[in-house]
Chains A and B, each alone.
Chain A
């Protein structure tokens, strides 16, 4: 496992400082472990968080191996290095809180409870995939788990998260929507528009920038006029904001919980920026992953800013787990990932006819009105999708 390192070893020196100058803490204490939201955690919960992070990492490493074997097409945007964020988010959700994210979505999907099988099968383009092989890596959805995707266009999901939270407020439901985006997405117009609407209308939405320092190959320093802090942009919209160290699981939980509380209690939005780092490229096809940043930088972050390593060490120090427990958790995650690949491999591809399903509700549900008019065009549309009433004589 040369690409994962020994996660149980202790860091030998201090991690590099996150590149944030200003910080306006919204959490009650700097000692995040003492925050009531963390104090109330049971040992089982703490172990579960570690397990979830391992599951994401081992799932994606398995996916990477099969990608490189040609088992899947397109893009594969790996979340490795950022796992604490998705897992911590799901850990603070209450029953009416929702999640939506961008295209680096495998971590969020697994964290909300989607199975490795359905996710891996989707990557393989199989019918048993979460989207029946129609969405692919960037488009995982599980509305039954209040996870609304999985969106491919940078910042395209930001107004959707706003709309989900709007609907909650409209119906008088005490809930919120965590809306994730990358550091590249902050420069899209629709994100600024969404911030304005969220604050103007007091929408219970929490925008979370997962700042991994690179929008594809363009560093933060080359893309943002305010280089030290992205969350500070919230001030232009009269919105509370904060920065978060993504490697500190307690801190991530504290600040997410504080933002969630603001959404629930005051129906006010928050902009959080979580400092994190992706160990791999923008996508697997990112041949320049080591050109726009140095090998040394990547290694430094793996050593000192790896959320799994940090959380595991925390649990070891707290005496919650032993090194053997950690190995067992890791082993189980690897086995689950391997099993999911076998499941995906054994599954069928969708048929060509299924290409036409899931486009229109009327057609899928064979409603009486679906017989009016033609929904699909071209010479290869299967007969069952065509109106057979052409009375040309």
Chain B
């Protein structure tokens, strides 16, 4: 199976969906002539032209809102946020319009839109450009949120997101764009709401999503080599819908869990998962559910310190050893 980058996997997903469905358009800042700020849309404008690949002025609120209006009419806009950090100037459009119009119309209107882009820290761009708003958006009934960790998942989830009849927020990661994974050449999709066991184990469960999955995989290898501990890594992939079954299944298998995320801890996804486990699998637990997250301050600029602000394999191992 060929190895391709996370970036190329996304790009391939766009090409396939643009060719499949006349209603799919891509819109955002620098997505066309510039080939994308992070080159995720590279080559698309040259291949598909102005009609399908559309550069916008820096007006996130207007072009996210335009996407909602076009989606109400049946188009399937894929709207790029150069950074998910910029969604805050378009928050009303995403939450009140994309999120709630279906409900407030009694189900008469659908908003089949994708909003996508990188949502990550770790690139020394300061607090304004390092937001990970998956918890905020997953808090909105009506929106869906997915956070792919690998090229395979990025492509399969993106294709499903574009075909979904509700608005899906796809949160990518600039630190993963150049990473390579095996991706089959034949077409595939991945349903939203299905978690994936990225590493089988028996002693403890690391539950994570996005780049934190890779951190957990590294931690698991070290635990195996240095401590003889066999950790299972569950990649949620989708935050809403959430694969609660897989969470409860891995906990009932290993009886110990650490939830790992690159978001801040307060009201984070980890809190939701921990609450779910204690409520529904309390008797399965041999130890408290622990959490590893970004350290709870705005993303710091200082490069060596920001590395430590995000979850590291060492911090995951340290927490794991507390309950083993």
Contact = CB atoms under 8 A, between A and B. Distances in A.
Contact of A166 (B69, B193, B194): B69
B107 A167 contact: no
A373 B276 CA distance: 13
B71 A163 contact: yes
Contact of A164 (B57, B72, B106): B72
Contacts of B101: 141, 149
Interface in A377-393: 377, 387, 389-393
A375 B245 contact: no
Contacts of B193: 369, 372-375
Interface string A335-365: 0000000000000000000000111111010
A329 B180 CA distance: 72
Contacts of A226: none
A193 B107 contact: no
Contacts of A369: 191-193
A149 B105 contact: yes
Nearest to B275: A377
Interface stretch (A30-38, A126-134, A253-261, A267-275): A126-134
Contacts of B67: 163
B62 interface: yes
B25 interface: yes
A151 B106 contact: no
A186 to B, nearest CB: 14
Interface string A128-165: 01111111100101111000111111001011111111
Interface in B55-108: 56-57, 59, 61-75, 92-93, 96-97, 101-108
Interface residues of A, number: 61
B243 interface: yes
Contact of B73 (A167, A196, A197, A373): A167
B122 interface: no
B244 interface: yes
What are the nearest 4 A-B pairs in CB distance? Answer: A373-B193, A163-B69, A159-B65, A373-B241
21 contacts: A100-B69, A131-B104, A134-B104, A134-B106, A135-B106, A141-B106, A148-B109, A152-B96, A160-B66, A163-B65, A163-B68, A164-B70, A164-B72, A165-B69, A166-B66, A196-B57, A362-B166, A369-B193, A375-B241, A390-B244, A391-B252
Interface of B: 25, 51, 56-57, 59, 61-75, 92-93, 96-97, 101-110, 141-142, 144, 164-166, 191-194, 238, 240-245, 248-249, 251-252, 272, 280-281, 284
Interface of A: 100, 129-136, 139, 141-144, 148-153, 156, 158-168, 170, 177, 189-190, 193-194, 196-197, 200, 357-362, 364, 369, 372-377, 387, 389-393
